[in-house]
Amino acid sequence: MAKKAKVQFECQHCGYTSPKYLGKCPNCGSWNSLVEVTIQDTDDRRVRASLTGEKTRPTKIADVVPKKEPRVKTKLGELNRVLGGGVVPGSLILIGGDPGIGKSTLLLQVSQQLAELGGKVLYVSGEESADQIKMRAERLGSIDTEFYLYAETDMHEISRAIGEIEPDYVIIDSIQTMTQPDITSVAGSVSQVRETTAELLKIAKTNGITIFIVGHVTKEGSIAGPRMLEHMVDTVLYFEGEKHHSFRILRAVKNRFGSTNEIGIFEMHENGLREVVNPSEVFLEERLEGATGSAIVVAMEGSRPILVEIQALVTPTMFGNAKRTTAGLDFNRVSLIMAVLEKRAGLLLQNQDAYLKAAGGVKLNEPAIDLALAVSIASSYKEKGTDPRECFIGEIGLTGEVRRVSNIESRVKEVQKLGFTKVYLPKNNLGSWVPPKGIEVVPVATIGETLKRVFG
């Protein structure tokens, strides 16, 4: 006798379920987001996660022998940095980004490299045919014999293919196109994304297979689907950048096997993505000599110091209220620095429009950029340019003091390596360390003192 199908209503924003229809979701407050979902209550929905068919049993912690498998390093050092040193066997990695940003290109390159290192790779695509993927693979480089393509969206068929091929790596492009046949909702819905990810998680952990998942993003910039999707995976990476610019930034927002502060920088070319080994030179190569409203800062992205140009344009407002616009910088931080400049340094900025950006498309949000922000604003306001060989590091307090920052030694070494001759830094950061030769270190205690030394 066939079992009765279960009907429920599910919110497409947060995954909340209700036995009856509701106009407004009680959990997230979204209107008209509950959709009817029919679930077949059958016994064959159980996923046999182990490819060998063996069932797992509870084990004493003293009897567990962990497998000491080394990380697999790809040929992309920037990707290895973001992952924490390389690919961890048996991990589940989610990569999100805007359409056309290069997610599939990155994973196709990584797949070819993993196959060349001796791994067996299964590339599952629900968006392209096998012919289309091969054409793109030939454009990106060589094709290895241990590289399998599979154009399929049915998770039962994908699980069967994984059991037959027994790959070391699996790429799912994308998770929003995969479906569980037992669930009647459309592909990309909350229930489909949740169930398919759960099955992939069991396969990865039980069989030691590394699985990469491509995820679409919403208009707000977050990965589409339920929020629990990011909690289920081991690593969440965001691929950022402008489609009309060649640079791409890979950022980790969750990583169980490494730091979440690292970023990887790539440049898009006709034959794929190339890693940018020295991003500081890239971000500074188009800086104008003698331009006003410009200051250089050393920002720390994980363990890597990066020199970035901060640009400011301050102009009298044409309306009653002054306008503030930022790109790549935190709006509240900019407003705070402008208030400190007006109160502690005597700059009349309340009737000035201010436009600030971090050049190169990078996003900065650490306290050490405060001093460079203040100098760039003062430079544009006073119409006086800064010396192109000067750099500014320091946090600014509400009383106008310049406070110490972390990793000062590595920051100054990066400045000296790129040919800068002078660096302004907090007075309290001068301690037992010795500055490198060839660069002048100027300790400052307040923002007023800094502006006097820079502009006279």
3-state SS, one letter per residue, for the chain: CCCCCEEEEEECCCCCEECCCCCECCCCCCECCEEEEEECCCHHHCCCCCCCCCCCCCCCHHHCCCCCCCCECCCCHHHHHHHCCCECCCCEEEEEECCCCCHHHHHHHHHHHHHHCCCCEEEEECCCCHHHHHHHHHHHCCCCCCEEEEECCEHHHHHHHHHHHCCCEEEEECHHHCECCCECCCCCCHHHHHHHHHHHHHHHHHHCCEEEEEECECCCCCECCCCHHHHHCCEEEEEECCCCCCEEEEEEEEECCCCCCCEEEEEEECCEEEECCCHHHHHHCCCCCCCCCEEEEEEEECCEEEEEEEEEEEEECCCCCCCEEEECECHHHHHHHHHHHHHHCCCCCCCEEEEEEECCCCCECCHHHHHHHHHHHHHHHHCCCCCCCEEECCEECCCCEEECCCCHHHHHHHHHHCCCCEEEEEHHHCCCCCCCCCCEEEEECEHHHHHHHHHC
Cα 316 to Cα 323: distance, rounded to the nearest angstrom:
10
Contact (Cβ atoms closer than 8 angstroms) between residue 234 and residue 205: no
Q: Could you give the count of Cα atoms lying within 13 Å of 239 in the half-sphere of its Cβ?
A: 30
84 is in an annotated binding site: no
98 is in an annotated binding site: yes
Cα 301 to Cα 333: distance, rounded to the nearest angstrom:
18
293 is in an annotated binding site: no
97 is in an annotated binding site: yes
Cα 73 to Cα 84: distance, rounded to the nearest angstrom:
10
Length of the chain, please? 456
296 is in an annotated binding site: no
Contact (Cβ atoms closer than 8 angstroms) between residue 13 and residue 28: yes
134 is in an annotated binding site: no
Q: Which residue ranges make up the annotated binding site?
A: 97-104
Q: Which residue ranges make up the annotated binding site for ATP?
A: 97-104
